[in-house]
Amino acid sequence: MALEVKLGQDLRLRQQLVMTPQLQQAIKILQLSLPELEAVVQSELDSNPMLEPLDQSVAEAAANSETNETSEAGAEPEPLQPEPEGDGAGTIGESDWEPVTEDRPAEMLATEAPDAAVELRELNNLEKLDWREYLENYSNNWQDGEAPDSDDDRRQTLENTLTRKTSLEDHLMWQLRLSNLDETDQRVGATIIYNLSDDGYLETPLEELAAQLECDVARVERVLKRVQRLDPPGVGARDLRECLYAQLTNLGMEESLAARIVLNHLGLLEKHRYNEIAKALGISLEMVGEAAKVIGLLEPKPGRDYGGQEPAYIVPDVYIQKIGDEFMVTLNESAVPRLRLANYYQRVLNDASAGAETKEYLQERLRSARWLVKSIFQRQQTIFKVANSIVKFQRAFFEHGIGQLKPLVLKDVAEDIGMHESTISRATANKYAHTPQGIHELKFFFTSGVKGTDGGDVSAETVKEKIRALVTGEKQGDPLSDQALADILRVDQIDIARRTVAKYRQALGILPSGRRKRLG
C-alpha cells in the first residue's frame, strides 16, 4: 500500500506568550547590580543622543542661568515632552523626566570668546617672563609648607589622589637593586622574584630556572638564599617547612625547640598530636605547647600583605531604618543614574526643516530612551516591594538580630506582592540592604528551615550562628565534636543530625574538633 503525501494549510487560533524587546530589557535591568546598571546606562548614553545625564557641567549651569534671566522678561518656551508610543506601552509621564531649561548655544559662544582672548594674552606674557628672576625671587610653596590661599582651591586633595598598591615583586626588586650582587646575580634574582606565587613561594624547580638563565643550578640556589633573606621573612621558600624555618632563622631561633619541631615534626603539629611530639623529643607537653605558640605567630603566606584583589565596596540598594515603632524602606536613589532628554535633539525632532531620515532615527532613539527609563523605574519599584515584604516576614530579625531570623522562601514573598518567583529571584540577586543589623544581601533573608523539637522551624542561618558561638566558647583543650554540638542544639529545641552539623561547620570554615585542639 503506497503512502500519499499531501501539502495543505491548517488555520488554528491559539494564545502564546511572546517576550517583547521591552520585556527582555526590563528583565535584564532588574537582575543587574548597581555597578552593572551604571555600565549599561553609560553604554546607552554613548550610543543614544536623546539621553544625557542629569548632572550639569559648569558651562551648562552658566548657560541655563542666562536662559533663566532672559526668560524672566518674556514668556518661557513650553518644554517638549516625549511622544507616547503607538501601542501605548511604555508611556512615561512628566514626573519620570527631570525638567530642564533650554540652553542657548549662541550666548555660550559669545561668553567663551572673551575668555579665549584673555588666555591668548596670558600666553604671550609667559613668553616674555624672565624665568631666572622668577626662580630667584619666588620659592616653591609646597616645600616651604606655606601655600597661598589661591593654590588651596586648585590643589588636589590627598583623598582624591590615585595610588597603586605596592606589589610583592616591586617590594623585592627594590631591595634587590640595593644589594651588592653583580649584574649576573641581579638577573638571576629578578628571575626568581618574578616566578614567585602570590603567597611568596617559589614553585618553579631550580633546574628549570637554571636552564632558562643558562647557568648552573648552584648559582641559582646561592642567589635564592639571598632572596630568602629579603623582606618579608620567609619569601622565596619552596614549601611551608622552609618558609617557617626561614622566619625562625631571621629571629635568631634556628637552634630552638620550635625550629626542631618545624624541621622534623611539622606533620604531627598540623594534626595537633602534641603527645606524640613530646614523646619523640623526650620533653614535656608544656614545652611543646610553648613552642607551638611561637610557631603559630609565624606567617605561613609571606606575600599575603602584598597580594590579593582590591576590596569591592558595596553600595546598598535600599535602606531599612526603624522610625518609631515601624521599619521604613527607602530606595537609594542617589546610586541610580539619573537621566534626562537632550534639549537640542528635542528641538530637532520638532523642527519642520529636519529630514525624514533624521526624524525617524531620533524617534527610534527616543523610544529606546523611554524603554530604558521605564525599565529602571520598574526595577526600583520591584526592589521596593520586595524589601517591604522582607521587612514584613523578618521583622524579628531587624529587632533582635540573626538569632530571630525565620525560614523564608521566594514563594512566600512572591505570593505576598503578587509576582512570580523568578521575578523575586532576579530582584534579590546582587542587591544589598542597609539594615540596623548590618549590610546584607537580599538573598540572605531567604533561608531553609530546620525542624525544632517544639514543632516550629528554625532558620539555617540561625543554626550556623549558634554553632559558631558554641565553637567560640569551647575549651581549647577539649573542643566540641560534631555529635556534642548536635546534642547541645537538641537541648535548645533544634533537632539536627550530626552530619548536618558537619555540613554547617564546613560552610563556616571551622576545622574538625581534632584540629581545633589547643594546649592550655
Domain of residue 384: give its range: 318-337+378-515
Q: Is residue 115 part of a domain?
A: no
Which pLDDT score is estimated for 4?
73
Find the largest Cα–Cα distance for the chain: 115
Which pLDDT score is estimated for 157?
61
- Residue 81 to residue 95: CA distance in whole angstroms: 11
Q: Which range (67-76, 274-283, 377-386) has the least confidence?
A: 67-76
Q: Decide which of 106 and 152 is more confident.
A: 152
Maximum average pLDDT range among 26-30, 120-124, 141-145? 26-30
On whether both 386 and 290 belong to a single domain, the answer is: no
On whether both 292 and 322 belong to a single domain, the answer is: no
On whether both 411 and 488 belong to a single domain, the answer is: yes
Which of 264, 296, 328 terminates a domain? The answer is 296
On whether both 447 and 494 belong to a single domain, the answer is: yes
Interval 284-291 mean pLDDT = 90
On whether both 410 and 324 belong to a single domain, the answer is: yes
- Residue 111 to residue 67: CA distance in whole angstroms: 13
Q: Is residue 413 part of a domain?
A: yes
On whether both 394 and 436 belong to a single domain, the answer is: yes
Positive or negative: CA dihedral 385, 389, 392, 397: negative
On whether both 285 and 394 belong to a single domain, the answer is: no
pLDDT one-digit tens code per residue, 420-434: 999 999 999 889 999
Contact 192, 202 (CB under 8 A): yes
Q: Is residue 138 part of a domain?
A: no
On whether both 228 and 290 belong to a single domain, the answer is: yes
Confidence of residue 260 (pLDDT cuts 50, 70, 90): very high
Q: Is residue 106 part of a domain?
A: no
Counting the structural domains of the chain, the total is: 2
Q: Is residue 442 part of a domain?
A: yes
Interval 37-52 mean pLDDT = 87
Which pLDDT score is estimated for 333?
85
Which pLDDT score is estimated for 335?
81
Q: Decide which of 250 and 58 is more confident.
A: 250
Percent of the chain whose pLDDT exceeds 90: 27
CB-count exposure of residue 50 (10 Å: 0-12, 13-18, 19+): buried
Q: Is residue 486 part of a domain?
A: yes
On whether both 413 and 494 belong to a single domain, the answer is: yes
On whether both 196 and 267 belong to a single domain, the answer is: yes
The helix or strand, by DSSP H or E, that contains position 174, with its residue range, turns out to be: helix 168-178
- Copy the grid coordinates of residue 350: 520638532
Q: Is residue 46 part of a domain?
A: no
Report the C-alpha dihedral over residues 143, 149, 150, 156, rounded to 10 degrees: 60
Q: Is residue 355 part of a domain?
A: no
On whether both 278 and 398 belong to a single domain, the answer is: no
Task: Estimate the crossing angle of helix 206-213 against helix 183-194, to 10 degrees.
Answer: 130
Interval 256-262 mean pLDDT = 93
Interval 162-170 mean pLDDT = 78
On whether both 257 and 292 belong to a single domain, the answer is: yes
Q: Is the peptide bond before 232 cis (omega within 30 degrees of 0)?
A: yes
pLDDT one-digit tens code per residue, 367-387: 888 888 888 889 999 999 999
Is a pLDDT exceeding 60 seen at residue 293? yes
